[in-house]
Amino acid sequence: MATTTDPRRTAYERLADAAATGVPVPPVRDLLGADLDAAYETQELGIRSREGEHNPRAGRKVGLTAAAVQAQLGVDQPDFGVLLADMQVLESEQVPHGALLQPRIEAELAFVMRTDVDATDRQSLIDAVAYVTPALEIVDSRVAGWDISIVDTVADNASSAFYVLGAAQLPLGEYSPVAATMSMTVNGVERSTGTGQDCLGDPLNALVWVAETAARLGRPLRAGEVVLSGALGPMVPLASGDHVEAFISGLGSVTATVSS
C-alpha cells in the first residue's frame, strides 16, 4: 500500500531545510494549493519544532497590512506569524546576519499585552494593552526570490526573522496609533516613511484582526505577549553592517545594527 505524504509536513520540511542550509527553496503553494488553513497548520509545525522551555512563544506579528502589498499578492486580508523568544534582538545587540537569507526591514508599532485577551472587541483590546512601543521588524523569506503568495508567506511564519523594541513605553490612553508618523533611515539615509493610517487604516485595526483570528484558531493573545502590528511604511533591503534607525512621532527612536 502506498504511503500518503502529508503536504503540510512536506511544506514544513522544505522551509526548514532552507532555514538550516541558508539556501532559499521554491514556493510551497505547489503542495498546499490555496488552502490558507493548511498554511497556518504548516506554520504551526514550524513553531512547535522551535519552541521549548527556553524558547517560549512571545507574541504575534501581523503582515500584509498595506493595501499595496495586498494588491501585489492578490489578497484582501492580513496574515500573522508567531514570535518566539529567540526572535527578539535588543538594541544593544547585533542582528545576526549569518542567520538571514534575503532580509528586509520595516518600522512599526508594537503593542504589549497587560492581560490575557478574553474579548476581542476594540475597547476590550485597548483595555488589555499595557503599552505601545516603537519597533523594527527584520523580515526574511525562505522562498527563493521572495516569490510568495499568501499561502507561501503564512506557511513561512509570515516571512518573519527578528524584531527590536525601542525604549519608549506609553499607555494607549496617552498615545494615538493612527496619528503616528514614521521616518526610517539606513546608514543615515532616509529610506522609508509612513503613517499610522498606512497600517490597515489604524494599527489598532491590526490588533483587533490578529486577536480575533488567534482566538478563532484556538490560540488567543496572552498577557505579556508582543504584537507587531504591521509596517508603517515600505520595507527596504537589509545588508551586512547596516545601521537602521526609525523615528516614530510621540515615541522616539528604535535602532538595529546588523553584524558584519
R_g of the chain, CA atoms, integer Å: 17
For cell 499578492, name the residue.
73
Identity of residue 216: R
Sequence-ordered list of residues with C-beta below 8 angstroms from that of 234, at least 6 positions apart, any chain: 66, 106, 192, 194
pLDDT, tens digit, for every residue of 107-161? Answer: 999 999 999 999 999 999 999 999 999 999 999 999 999 999 999 999 999 999 9
Question: Which of 244, 138, 259 minimizes the C-alpha distance to 189?
Answer: 244
Backbone φ and ψ for 107, nearest 5 degrees, come out as: -105, 145
C-alpha cell recorded at residue 198: 498606512
Helix (H, G, I), strand (E, B) or coil at 254: strand
> What integer pLDDT is reported at residue 2 of this predicted model?
45
Domains of the chain in start order, with CATH, are 7-258 (3.90.850.10)
Provide mean pLDDT across the span 6-13: 97
Backbone φ and ψ for 239, nearest 5 degrees, come out as: -125, 165
Q: Work out the angle between the directed axes of helices 7-21 and 36-50 (0-180°, nearest 10).
A: 50
pLDDT, tens digit, for every residue of 19-75? Answer: 999 999 999 999 999 999 999 999 999 999 999 999 999 999 999 998 877 776 777
Question: Which of 210, 215, 203, 206 minimizes the C-alpha distance to 248?
Answer: 203
Q: Is the dihedral of CA 158, 161, 166, 169 positive or negative?
A: positive
Q: How many helices and strands (H and E) does the chain possess?
A: 7, 12
Overall pTM surpassing 0.75 (yes/no): yes
Q: 241 has which bridge partners?
A: none
Decide: 183 and 247 in contact? Cβ < 8 Å.
yes
Is the pLDDT reported for residue 90 higher than 80? yes
C-alpha cell recorded at residue 197: 493610517
Sequence-ordered list of residues with C-beta below 8 angstroms from that of 129, at least 6 positions apart, any chain: 111, 112, 113, 114, 171, 172, 207
C-alpha cell recorded at residue 107: 518600522
> What integer pLDDT is reported at residue 4 of this predicted model?
56
Is the pLDDT reported for residue 1 higher than 50? no
Helix (H, G, I), strand (E, B) or coil at 29: helix
Give the separation between CA 203 and CA 179, rounded to whole angstroms.
10
Model confidence band, residue 5 (pLDDT cutoffs 50, 70, 90): confident
Decide: 206 and 231 in contact? Cβ < 8 Å.
no
CB atoms < 10 A from the CB of 177, how many?
23
Provide mean pLDDT across the span 207-235: 94
> What integer pLDDT is reported at residue 148 of this predicted model?
92
> What integer pLDDT is reported at residue 95 of this predicted model?
98
